[in-house]
Every structure is written in structure tokens, then in C-alpha cells.
Homo-oligomer: A and B are copies of this chain.
């Protein structure tokens, strides 16, 4: 995924280092000194420091040359050299629904304990933040970066690594790679539990709405749904699966679509709570009662799941706890606790049975 180029005063020039080839992650750290890099770049050591410190008073071409060498040598500041500002960076691919709010509160909780402040950004729906963002982060040198449902491209990773700015991905959209610490939930098992609940109630025709296929958490939930069908010896009908976007509108649109089928399903695993709410609207429009005519299971357990009528059966994802874990992990990394560096932590999901699920219509 390549980042699109946002406009704005901080937009990096075409000669930006991010346009050069990244180092292999395997390359040993600190093969060169700051002085050595200065020599090789034909500049003074203070100039290299300026680049490392994100100072503006360096010619773009010089800056690009130095950045290139820093990356080529896998240069990494000694922790003692790295003066961090009391900040944690938190970036979302989009600020949508109270889902994001739960995550923000989790990070705020840990930041407050540690006397740090949270810088919040949104990559406007892109799954990779823009270059401007990465340059801003490199310049302000926070204790660490938490990416929610988004990832960094190689050059962004190299940029942060050269500043010893650790990063953690929460619920990675793509496949971040084993060397990137990440925090998630047991999405696959959640999809399994949701679908088994419906099967135990007697449902045989169960539809599933997924999120975007590019999101691993979305794939995992649908795979769990499929596993539940297969282990129960039920047929898996691809016609009962629709790819959504995790928003209300997709639940409504795909809901109408799947509920208008002559062989209408008696239950739907909606993929997340917002799509479940869209499905509620579609059912109302078609005069279908929940759960008498249609059972619905969501995923996330947002506050609103308890408030809608009927209250929504859903798979609880401990969003705040996940965010707290991500914040603690990135601060451990900042403190140089390398033991946790290559972690993939998955917090447990749990089925919350409310009133939107029941036996299928006779």
C-alpha cells in the first residue's frame, strides 16, 4: 500500500527519503556512527544531528542524502541520545463510531498514569498514514506510536526506527509482519462463538456480513463463522456472505439484499455492531421482527448495543483493554524492554447474549 500525498505546509519535497529503498529488517543495528555518516554524506556531524532532530534548517537534498545513509546503515540513536517529548502518538485510519472512542479512552488512561499526553491523528480513511504525518512524528519524537487499523510502509518504519520511536499496531488491517508488535482480539474465535450460538438455537440458514476483505480482523471473523458451520456439519453457502465496510449503511444495504432472497436466512452474523444496526433498519423496513422472524448477532459490544431495541446479542471485544495493552507495550519498547518487541497479543472476546437472538420461526 503506498501512502497518498496530502497537501499542506509540512508536505515533504519529491526528494523525500521516503522515496528511497528501505533496509532489510535483518540488518544489524548501528553499523555506523553519526560522524561516519556525516563523512560519507560530506556534511558536518551537527548537520546529521539536525536531520535526526527533525530541524527545518537543512536543505531538502542534504536531508534526503543523510536520511538515505541513516537508513542504509540501519542507524539507530542510542537511547541516551534520544530526547523524547512527553507524548504518545495515536493514529486511526478513520475516527468512526464509539469504537474509536473506547480506544482513545484506553490510551488516555495509560498516558495519564505515565504523565504523557496523547497526540491524535486520522489518516482520513487511508490504511497507511500520509508522509506529512510521519515527518511530524519524527520531528516531535513521542515515546511511541500506536496505529489503529492501519500500518506503516517500509520507509515510514525506517524513519521512526532511525529515531528510536517504537510503534505498535492495534488490530492490524493488513499483515504487519512478525517483527511488528501488534494487539488484537480473538476475532476468529468470536465469529465461531457467534455462529455456534445461532446454530444451538436451531438456525440452519445463517448469513454473514463481513467487513472489508483487506482487514485481517474481518477475514478472521468470517472464517470463524465458516468453521462453526463446518464443524456442525452444515452446508457453507457463499451466497449467504456479503462483504461490507463495518458501517451502518452496509448493514442496511446488504441486509435488504440478503433478506429479500426467496430462501431468506433466519439469522445473520452481522460482522460488527454498526452493521447489525443497519440490519435492524432493513428488517424494520421489510416488516421482519427481531428475534421472532430474524436473529441478529453483532461484534464489538459498543455501548449502543445495550440501548437499541431489542438489545443486541453481540461478541464483546475488550477495546479499552486492548488500547491500554497497546499503550503499555509501546512504552515498554520505549524503555528498551526488547523482550516484548515481537509480540502479537490477542485479548479474548466473549459472547454477550441479549434479546436479538432466539429460535428460528417455525
Q: In the bound complex, do residue A85 and residue B140 qualify as a contact, i.e. CB atoms below 8 Å apart?
A: yes
A92-131 interface with B by 8 A CB criterion? 95-98, 100-101, 104-105, 108, 112-115, 117-122, 124
Additional pairs, 15, CB under 8 Å, beyond known A8-B114, A95-B108: A9-B115, A10-B86, A10-B115, A86-B136, A97-B98, A97-B303, A100-B101, A112-B122, A117-B140, A118-B121, A119-B119, A119-B120, A280-B307, A308-B308, A309-B309
A291 proximal to B (CB < 8 A): no
Smallest distance from the beta carbon of A280 to chain B beta carbons, Å?
A: 6
Copy number in the complex reads: 2
Q: In the bound complex, do residue A117 and residue B119 qualify as a contact, i.e. CB atoms below 8 Å apart?
A: yes
Provide the residues of chain B in CB contact with A117, threshold 8 Å.
119-121, 136, 140
Give 27 pairs: A residue, B residue, CB < 8 Å, sorted on A: A8-B112, A8-B113, A8-B114, A9-B115, A10-B86, A85-B140, A86-B136, A87-B119, A95-B101, A96-B101, A97-B303, A100-B101, A101-B101, A105-B122, A108-B122, A112-B122, A112-B124, A115-B132, A117-B140, A119-B119, A120-B120, A277-B307, A278-B307, A280-B307, A284-B309, A304-B304, A304-B307
A300 proximal to B (CB < 8 A): no
* Contact indicator per residue, chain A 7-35, by CB within 8 Å of chain B (1) or not (0): 01110000000000000000000000000
Provide the residues of chain B in CB contact with A277, threshold 8 Å.
304, 307
Q: In the bound complex, do residue B108 and residue A121 qualify as a contact, i.e. CB atoms below 8 Å apart?
A: yes
Once the chains are docked, how many angstroms separate the CA of A115 from the CA of B124?
14
A63 proximal to B (CB < 8 A): no
A280-331 interface with B by 8 A CB criterion? 280-281, 284, 303-304, 307-309
Provide the residues of chain B in CB contact with A108, threshold 8 Å.
95, 120-122
Once the chains are docked, how many angstroms separate the CA of A281 from the CA of B304?
12
A224-278 interface with B by 8 A CB criterion? 248, 277-278
Provide the residues of chain B in CB contact with A87, threshold 8 Å.
119
Interface size, A (range): 35 or more
A115-169 interface with B by 8 A CB criterion? 115, 117-122, 124, 132, 136, 140
Among residues of B, the one whose C-beta sits closest to the C-beta of A100 is B101
Smallest distance from the beta carbon of A346 to chain B beta carbons, Å?
A: 25
Name the residue in A86, A132, A277, A304 with the highest tally of chain B Cβ atoms < 10 Å from its Cβ: A304
Smallest distance from the beta carbon of A320 to chain B beta carbons, Å?
A: 11
Among residues of B, the one whose C-beta sits closest to the C-beta of A307 is B277
Provide the residues of chain B in CB contact with A100, threshold 8 Å.
101
Once the chains are docked, how many angstroms separate the CA of A86 from the CA of B121?
13
Among residues of B, the one whose C-beta sits closest to the C-beta of A252 is B307
Provide the residues of chain B in CB contact with A114, threshold 8 Å.
8-9
Provide the residues of chain B in CB contact with A121, threshold 8 Å.
108, 117-118
A176 proximal to B (CB < 8 A): no
Provide the residues of chain B in CB contact with A9, threshold 8 Å.
114-115
Report if A120-B104 is in contact (Cβ < 8 Å); known contacts: A9-B115, A309-B284.
Answer: yes
Among residues of B, the one whose C-beta sits closest to the C-beta of A90 is B120
5 A-B pairs closest in CB distance: A9-B115, A120-B120, A8-B115, A277-B307, A10-B115
Provide the residues of chain B in CB contact with A308, threshold 8 Å.
307-309
A6 proximal to B (CB < 8 A): yes
Once the chains are docked, how many angstroms separate the CA of A9 from the CA of B114?
7
Once the chains are docked, how many angstroms separate the CA of A10 from the CA of B248?
42
Once the chains are docked, how many angstroms separate the CA of A120 from the CA of B119?
6
